[in-house]
Chains A and B, each alone.
Chain A
Amino acid sequence: EAAVTQSPRNKVAVTGGKVTLSCNQTNNHNNMYWYRQDTGHGLRLIHYSYGAGSTEKGDIPDGYKASRPSQENFSLILELATPSQTSVYFCASGTGISGNTLYFGEGSRLIVV
């Protein structure tokens, strides 16, 4: 069974603080993705990666950095958190082969106050 694990599952951060969302996958998939989900917007792609050491910008990368130190781990970093980054964040992994589906984590709920 494919497994994508996110941490923390819930986080309250202060404006201007640093937040790191972590994602671990045991699928040995090359590709990993970070999305955020907000009411009325569906899932929007923030950053993605083709493998260890690679990060690519998605549709809404501003205010976010990403890090892929290994095949298994992909982190999303908010250096200076803002209230507009309050959202639910989903990590996913996939093989990258056309037509192959993504496997999602359970989501990380972030509130920035």
Chain B
Amino acid sequence: GQQVQQSPTSLVLQEGENAELQCNFSTSLNSMQWFYQRPGGSLVSVFYNPSGTKQSGRLTSTTVIKERRSSLHISSSQITDSGTYLCAMSNYNVLYFGSGTKLTVEP
């Protein structure tokens, strides 16, 4: 199957600090997406970003296709940002997921 590697595996921040999450993939892809999973819950899409840089509020995603990598930057982290962030690469109709980065934001 496709290989999607995420780093770091876990990250602990103090509220207000910034976070940088990384995703690397082994093969070419159609698109890259980032999902957020709340503790013990379901997944929701936070970014669809096949290439370039996109920003939504405090979140910025950058995908560099040629280098087979994508990043998610969270600025001024808040306690409610805590959860797991998963990247997923798309090969036509199927999404392949990384193992996720567990983010904990402490007061």
Considering the chains assembled together, what is the distance between the CA atoms of A90 and B44 in angstroms?
Answer: 12
| Contact between A105 and B33, CB atoms less than 8 A apart | no
How many residue pairs link A and B with beta carbons under 8 A? The number is: 57
A105: nearest chain-B partner, CB-CB: B42
Considering the chains assembled together, what is the distance between the CA atoms of A106 and B48 in angstroms?
Answer: 21
| Contact between B45 and A101, CB atoms less than 8 A apart | yes
Considering the chains assembled together, what is the distance between the CA atoms of A50 and B94 in angstroms?
Answer: 10
Q: Give A31-45 as 1s and 0s: 1 = Cβ < 8 Å from B's Cβ atoms.
A: 101010000111111
Interface size on A, residues (CB 8 A): 26
Given contacts A43-B97, A99-B48, contact A104 B42 (CB under 8 A): yes
Chain B contacts of A101 at CB under 8 A? Answer: 33, 45, 48
| Contact between B41 and A96, CB atoms less than 8 A apart | no
B44: nearest chain-A partner, CB-CB: A104
Does residue B30 face the partner (Cβ distance < 8 Å to A)?
Answer: yes
Q: Give B72-107 as 1s and 0s: 1 = Cβ < 8 Å from A's Cβ atoms.
A: 000000000000001010101111111110000000
CB of A36, distance to nearest CB on chain B (Å)? 11
CB of B91, distance to nearest CB on chain A (Å)? 10
| Contact between B97 and A98, CB atoms less than 8 A apart | no
Cβ-neighbour of A99 out of B50, B96, B99 (below 8 A)? B50
* 25 pairs, CB–CB < 8 Å, chain A vs chain B: A35-B97, A41-B99, A42-B4, A42-B97, A42-B98, A42-B100, A43-B43, A43-B86, A44-B97, A45-B1, A45-B95, A50-B93, A59-B96, A90-B42, A90-B43, A94-B93, A99-B48, A99-B50, A102-B43, A102-B45, A102-B95, A104-B42, A106-B41, A106-B42, A107-B42
- 15 more A-B residue pairs beyond the given contacts A50-B93, A90-B43, A98-B31, with a C-beta to C-beta distance below 8 A: A33-B95, A40-B99, A42-B100, A43-B88, A44-B97, A45-B1, A45-B96, A92-B43, A94-B93, A98-B30, A98-B90, A99-B50, A99-B90, A101-B45, A107-B41
